[in-house]
Chains A and B, each alone.
Chain A
Amino acid sequence: MTIKLSIAAALLASAAPAFAATHNVAPGENAQQELQEALILAEPGDEIVLAAGRYTLTDGISLDVDGVTVRGAGMDGTVLDFTAQADAGEGFLITSDNVTVRDFALENPKGDGIKSKGADNIVYHRIRVTWTRGPHPENGAYGIYPVESTGVLVDGVKVTGASDAGIYVGQSNGITVRNSIAEANVAGIEIENSRNALVEHNIATRNTGGILVFDLPDLPVMGGGNVIVANNLVVANDTPNFAPPGNIVAGVRRGTGIMVMANDHVLIEDNILSGNPTAPVMVIAYTQSFEDERYNPLPREVVVGENIYNGGGYDPQLEGAEMLLEAFGGELPPVLWDGLGSLAAVEGTAGWSLNLTEAGVGLDSAQPGPLAAATPSGEFDRGGIGAPAELVARLGG
């Protein structure tokens, strides 16, 4: 008995960091103040618990303390309502490391939903970000928005209505986005200028484009690559593009399933693609002119593995669509490559190529023809791809 007790005590002691405290916040008139105070006064290891209910917030909130967990009573139970937000570029800004946010929702933030910047080893778990009016160009840009971070796990989130990307990971390294739903955004999930990203077991539906893997010039961090997009359900991404013009995703064609632009070493495998009328899979070079000498606009070592395609580009939003459809017998094959860089595809992959010879000069020189891609040479190197195991372990708590 004594032994058992002391073991229990030791377990308790090791499970809870020294002096970790719980700060309880409830909805009400002073919620803005109380919530923000809790976020400022928290110490590393503390947990901020948001009771169920609707919090009417007039200003963005922010966290700058390492090792804090912010936990609600479920993504439909605890709702941070930013409909009346008067300032700030996002609903919730996180700038510290080792933070976990879980089990709550943000509705109608004026800018982005949750942005974590330079926030290493962050976990987003069962967070919902919703623009309740559905697709609209004046909705905020990104729902879940980790950027310039090492160690990112996004698990079980749901984002609807983002005018850019629902789940956007930018300029980061060591990333997993999984078990999440991106619906009715311009881009469902976007991995941009990032390395070592695993995107798996997600549902991307009713977006303009389902899952995008981009590498763009003129950013502090470039050279995106080492990305696996696997076991995702990418269906019915047919929402007309509602991004404000000027943004890179405004150029995404309605009906794009999985799209790779530039990047190095990307695997697309074991996904189910259905109802993506322009192109279930699209692999292309950066389409615009650029002057950044550090930048490589070509897709390199992109591998299209086994995927399940239910149909191809049956209603493509492309120049000369009618002619193309006629040439290919009424429907474009599922994989579209612009012919630039290097692409490998498993045997039997139906596709077509624009056969371009130069990046960034438009489609005038396109010579559409059947896909002639090499077969993959050897196993795709999966080493180092995905979020650190420590982040996945944190979900248990």
Chain B
Amino acid sequence: MTNNNHQRIRLEAVSKRWDDTTAVDAISFDVTPGQFVILLGPSGCGKSTTLRMIAGLEEASAGRIEIGERDVTRLPPGDRGLSMVFQSYALFPHLSVADNIVFGLRSRKVPKAERRERLARVAQLVDLEAYLERKPAQLSGGQRQRVALARSIISEHPICLMDEPLSNLDARLRGEMRREIKALQARLGMTVIYVTHDQVEAMSMGDRVILMQDGRIVQDGAPDELYSRPASAFAASFIGSPAMNLVKLAASDAAAVIDGETEVAVAPAAAAGGQLGIRPEDIEVQPIDGSGVPAEVIDEEYLGADTILQLGVGSQRLRARLPGKHSLSSGTRCRLAWAPEAAHLFGADGLRRDDLTPVAFSATVARTAGKGGAGAPSSTAGSTHP
């Protein structure tokens, strides 16, 4: 168990096909020991299927799965040396919490004394000591979740797979359990592969996020990489809340403008036909006599800590997130600005275009010559509301 190589997981061109549908299409990745890896994606993207193939609950149609130095592609789940937490928890309803936790140890014929000792240790770890005699039906959602966790921890397998383990909990508990799972993983040095469709879980828990779409990997990197350099328009729209604004770019003179808005060039001409992405929190709203892209407020949504503005620019719509409370009646004219490095360009195929650099609002600069700094850093967006 102490040998870290036992925990390495490698997938090589693994696919899963049912008749004529391909759920997972030749994906490959390596997980290093002790890593907390998130498989993220919308429902139907193949993330759960990938996890179940690693677990051995589904057989891979093609490709190779290695755990440690072993090829486990055709091994039964019980021989792969991993544990799993299910979305439904999969607790045995007729067994007490204690019996649920030691179920696997009994299957593996662990002696009774050792079972009791390990149970005591794990129950303390997940704070379940007072509930060991209860049946799952007598527990709250969070407690059931803990039993499921305890069951996978007690097996002392170095690898733990989690399939949307928090999706049945309410928002507050979810936040709590996120921190607990993360802390447990760090403390026990487990390798975790965690499936979720919730980007907040992915961002807050993962050391590394693998974003999937239609059975393929879209982007594989650290959470801040996915946030700051999304590899495609899909990745951009999936990470962040509210999602990144994606507006269509049209050609105009020698540059690209936001579709329907011809006044301010935002990107080089080659970007036309593609999309411009700006995160709502990177948009700075300025008075109409200021500088930037002209826009019109459509409505506002006050969320307490910040306000989300719906804005119309040309034929496109954007959202801007301003800290604090703002009262902008709909129809108010204003101007939008953002730092050039906060703007992301995507080609017509949806892929990121690093060959182009967004324009720092040359038109505005030209019109309000002397004022300068139109594309000024936007970190203080809230301070400049009309």
A binds B: no
